Structure 1
Amino acid sequence: MKTEKIYYKNQFQTSCEAILIESIENGLIFDRSIAYPEGGGQIGDVGTLIRCKDGSEIPFYNTTKIKGRNIFLNDFPSIKIENQIVHHINSSFEFEKDEKFLIKLDHLKRAQTTLHHSGLHLALMVLEEMFSGIDKKIVGAKITDKYGRLDFSIDFKFTPEQIVNIETRCNEYIEKNIPIEVFPHPEENEALYWKCDNYIVPCGGTHCENTKDLKGIKIKRKSIGKLSERLIVEIPFNEQFLSLYSDSNN
């Protein structure tokens, strides 16, 4: 049985009721969840599991996915969909199958992670304008609530002038208030694309809905080897974006 991924329907929902379908070592699997699992470089959500029968609270410190179905599309990376989502816990409780829980998200951490994911895509969009095909040189990615980074296997270093130009171009897009869309592949609902302006890339992470949310973006670089370069994106806390998250648990 797969986990229904509520974040695909409403990524701003911060809680939901769910039924326990399986208990594994250090983890619980539910029939549905608002928690985004680690994947594509983005960290997994954290939060609290509340047992409906007694109100006890159990923190979950990470979210990952297991099982699922492999898909192979001509114009999309091979990925696994229809997974089960594991909410990782440190607990010695005994749990009963079909037990009801309330899953509550750490929405501050999710919001800032979401902004860094979209900010990283925006920076890559600008990089593509400057260095066509550089997306094929990506060898690593990490998206957290504190930063987003991309690692490239390239034989040159980003100059200070290029870093300033990337940040300037990002801010120009931000000032234009360009809508950001996430939409599915026509053949698979969980094969998703990210779109900003005319730039489209496959991505199933969480994202903001407009470039204006990325105001204050900072771009940095770091040398990580003779033939490797790291681009780092930092987004300041955005209280207005955080306010979009709803306590609805429908």
Structure 2
Amino acid sequence: MTEKLFWDNPYLKECEARVIEIKDKEVKLDRTIFYAFSGGQASDSGSIGGVKVKEAIKKGREIVYILEEEPGFKAGETVKVSIDWNKRYKIMRLHSAAHIVYYFLNKELGIERLIGSNISQEKARLDFEYPESVKKYLEKIEEKANEFISQGYEIKTYADKSDKERRWWECENIKYPCGGTHVKNTKEIGRVKLKRKNIGKGKERVEIFVEGEIKK
């Protein structure tokens, strides 16, 4: 099973890993900092052994990387794994923001279940069923989310006691199952801006943006 270093330290920008298997352009590593699309969170971008990664795929508890070209390295060799840090950090900020916004959506509107979600480098989105437009509620929810974020609360992510592949996200009194990558403190998120989109009768989408560039 691939050791997922991005859970232990999501701030790592590069690491060394041993190549476990190569099949044409497909590569498996013994450990990685390179997140593969899962739970609505976009994959990282970057390279393995100097070769650009085209796609990262989660297969069960393993991660398979599809390279843009056949690599010059071989199974058993040690390679450098590098990620696009600006993309990763923006996603970390947006993913943590999404949990906080969802908490206040639930608190204000009783949204207890999502029908879709996505976190990319540009924005996060939450899709849910609701009988009317939520536009008139967003200003209040945005205000509450930003007030919470400004407090500088610690964010913790950790493995479930019964299964280390099952992960939790926790901040103050908010707790959700989540295997994504996150910032360590709410102040790293910055201010959030919310936008409503209609995606069909009885269905609403809230898009989440984070303002400003925070360097880490």
Aligned counterparts, 1:1-250, within 5 A: 2-50=1-49, 57-67=50-60, 83-93=61-71, 95-132=73-110, 134-136=111-113, 138-160=114-136, 162-240=137-215, 243=216
Aligned counterpart, 1:77: none
CA contact (8 A) 1:183 1:193 kept: yes
SS at match of 1:188: coil
SS at match of 2:184: coil
Deviates more, 1:16-25 or 1:195-204: 16-25
Q: Quick one: which amino acid aligns to residue 216 of structure 1?
A: R
**CA distance in structure 2 between the partners assigned to 1:235 and 1:24 by the alignment:** 40
Q: How far did residue 237 of structure 1 move?
A: 4.3
**CA distance in structure 1 between the partners assigned to 2:164 and 2:58 by the alignment:** 17
* Structure 2 unaligned blocks of 5 or more: none
Deviates more, 1:212-221 or 1:231-240: 231-240
Q: Structure 1 residues 102 and 94, CA, compared in 2 at 3 Å: closer, same or farther?
A: closer
CA contact (8 A) 1:213 1:238 kept: no
Q: How far did residue 24 of structure 1 move?
A: 3.3
**CA distance in structure 2 between the partners assigned to 1:92 and 1:7 by the alignment:** 25
**CA distance in structure 1 between the partners assigned to 2:23 and 2:97 by the alignment:** 35
CA contact (8 A) 1:179 1:210 kept: yes
Deviates more, 1:10-19 or 1:95-104: 95-104
**CA distance in structure 1 between the partners assigned to 2:97 and 2:24 by the alignment:** 35
CA contact (8 A) 1:113 1:144 kept: yes
State the Cα deviation string for residues 212-237 of structure 1 (Å, max 9, x = none).
Answer: 11222111110010121101100134
Aligned counterpart, 1:78: none
CA contact (8 A) 2:190 2:212 kept: no
Q: Quick one: which amino acid aligns to residue 59 of structure 2?
A: I
Identity of aligned pairs, percent?
30
Q: How far did residue 95 of structure 1 move?
A: 4.7
Q: How far did residue 94 of structure 1 move?
A: 5.5
State the Cα deviation string for residues 69-126 of structure 1 (Å, max 9, x = none).
Answer: xxxxxxxxxxxxxx22112211134652212210011111100011110111110011
* Structure 1 unaligned blocks of 5 or more: 51-56, 68-82, 244-250
**CA distance in structure 1 between the partners assigned to 2:29 and 2:159 by the alignment:** 24
Q: How far did residue 29 of structure 1 move?
A: 0.8
SS at match of 2:134: coil
**CA distance in structure 1 between the partners assigned to 2:116 and 2:109 by the alignment:** 18
Q: Structure 1 residues 155 and 191, CA, compared in 2 at 3 Å: closer, same or farther?
A: same
Q: Quick one: which amino acid aligns to residue 8 of structure 2?
A: K
The alignment's TM-score, normalised by the length of structure 2, stands at: 0.94
